[in-house]
Amino acid sequence: MAKIVHSLVEFFSTVGLPTVLIFVAVLLLSLWMLSSKNPRVNWPPGPVCFPVVGCLPQMMISGRRRQPTDLLPWYDTYGDIIHVKFGEQHAILLGTHELIQEAFVKNAATVSDRPTWIYFIRQIVGKDGAGVIFKSGHEWKELRRFTLSSLRDLGLGRKSLQERIQDEARYLVQNIEDENGKAFSPRDRVGKAVSNIIATIVFGVRHDYNDTPELLPVLEQALRAGEGIELFTNLARFLMPMKKIMALVDRLYSLIRQEVDRHRQSFDPTDIRDFIDLFIKVTQEEQDPEIYAEWNVFRIIVDLYLAGTDTTANTLRWSLIHMVNQLDVQKRVQQEIDQVIGQGRVAKMEDKAEMPFTEATILEVLRISPVVPLGVPHATSETINLDGYTIPKGTMILGDLYRVLHDKNNFEDPYKFKPERWLDDNSKVIKSDKLIPFSIGPRACLGKGLAEMELFIFLTTMLQNFTFKVPEGEKPPDGVEGFNASTFTPYDYNVCAVRR
């Protein structure tokens, strides 16, 4: 072997650089042709994928590939199910509700793993995964059951949690009122309000609006350090600022561990105050250490804080954009608030049944501005047949929720903000199985109930007290494009909140 290497070195030293480049190009092309023509795999159609880089060149040539709409032209060319390669990573894009249903529900037993071998995911949770978002198999099912049960014990779905959200909505209104109708960015205030809800569940604390916990900006910086599809390729180590991202992740872990240490000092197994107390209790009891390992349960804390803060906060940020861009919709919601709630109290979930237009408005925000456009990636644990194509074990599966929610076959005028699409002739709310912003199947978002409660109470309370407008002389905020990283975030914008 050493002689062969020595001979090759001598050969390349005698020829020019162009010859070497041609040799390398031919070698890579040959490897690509051999790998792409594997007769054992009946892949769905898709764009040409090159060695090493996969389909990334086409993404860069055809557009910025930073918006959820960037992938849509591929469906027009290749169909509703597409095979792509993000670098060397094979992936399947599913562009219809029917295909997502077939994969995530009917084939849930074999399409519910997470692709923890992908570089970015492996860096943050390890090759075996951890927590409730990035664990797979039996361990994930048990951890999900434990998490849902724990959240119920801590008040999810109960009046006590609703009262916390109502209190936080009052604090948010008081803080907005301090602006006295002047232009301001609602970004941080909304983020702090939502963060305080999950923080009370997980950490047992809330923070004043003038006191920003270090955890919140660290989380937001980490989520926005990478962009879109780059997260799903092993080339992320070259395309993304991984040193910066891992420094932020390490800082996030460190801050949460500080909270855990603080809880240990006052821990009482007979008085469970929050999820961290549950974490301490379950790890001390040493029940099923394979599943309830400290790293697994610690990652659940991270998962809850991450998912419970960023997604709901971004949905509320999109909501205000649509309210200032659609003043007629905002006015109709306010009329309904005045009729059902009035000005003497804060909204409660029981009001929702009597406020169909408000509910329809929230449904339309969830449809037109999904904050996780491609969902969280799934992976096949076995080779399966999907829509007549062979999908090998170890393939990443992405449900394109954005395309489903903007498919004209599902929703007329899909890029128009029309809450009335959710109301029948009797002004009753229409439900649709095509509305899947939280995904579907066993891997659907487990915080859906909490998110819906927060969206209703926060939005109605803000519109009960203020009319939101575009500041004079400024452009209306963009209601379609945003910053597409781990989640889909609106570009920063200003509003004026005029007291009603």
Residue ranges and CATH numbers for the domains of the chain are 54-499 (1.10.630.10)
Q: 113, 378 in Cβ contact below 8 A? A: yes
Q: Tell me which of 458 and 483 has the higher pLDDT.
A: 458
pTM above threshold 0.85: yes
Question: What's the helix, strand, coil split of the chain in %, to 5?
Answer: 55, 10, 40
Q: At what angle do helices 448-465 and 356-368 cross, to 10 degrees?
A: 120
pLDDT for the residue 60: 65
d(CA 121, CA 236): 10
Residue 208 pLDDT class (50, 70, 90 cuts): confident
Q: 415, 478 in Cβ contact below 8 A? A: no
pLDDT for the residue 40: 65
> For residue 478, what are its two tokens?
């963009």
The SS3 call for residue 91 is: strand
Mean pLDDT of 321-328: 98
Cα dihedral 231/233/236/240 (nearest 10): -40
Q: Which helix (H) or strand (E) holds 160?
A: helix 159-177
pLDDT at 2 over 60: no
d(CA 432, CA 436): 9
Mean pLDDT is highest, among 248-252, 275-279, 412-416, for 412-416
pLDDT at 201 over 70: yes
Average pLDDT, the chain: 88
Query: Strand 384-386 vs strand 389-391: parallel, antiparallel, or unpaired?
Result: antiparallel
pLDDT at 74 over 90: yes
Mean pLDDT is highest, among 166-180, 227-241, 272-286, for 166-180
Judged on CB neighbours under 10 Å (0-12, 13-18, 19+), 271 is: exposed
pLDDT at 7 over 70: no
Q: At what angle do helices 242-265 and 294-325 cross, to 10 degrees?
A: 110
- Binding site members for heme: 445
> Within a 10 A sphere around the Cβ of 409, how many other Cβ atoms?
10
Q: 233, 377 in Cβ contact below 8 A? A: no
Mean pLDDT of 15-22: 55
d(CA 500, CA 497): 9
pLDDT for the residue 217: 81
Residue 498 pLDDT class (50, 70, 90 cuts): very high
Q: Which residue has the tokens 């962009």?
A: 227
DSSP letter (8 states) at residue 350: G
Mean pLDDT of 73-84: 95
pLDDT, tens digit, 9 for 90 and up, residues 82-115? 999 988 889 999 999 999 999 999 999 999 999 9
- Binding site members: 445
Residue 252 pLDDT class (50, 70, 90 cuts): confident
d(CA 398, CA 473): 41
pLDDT at 22 over 70: no
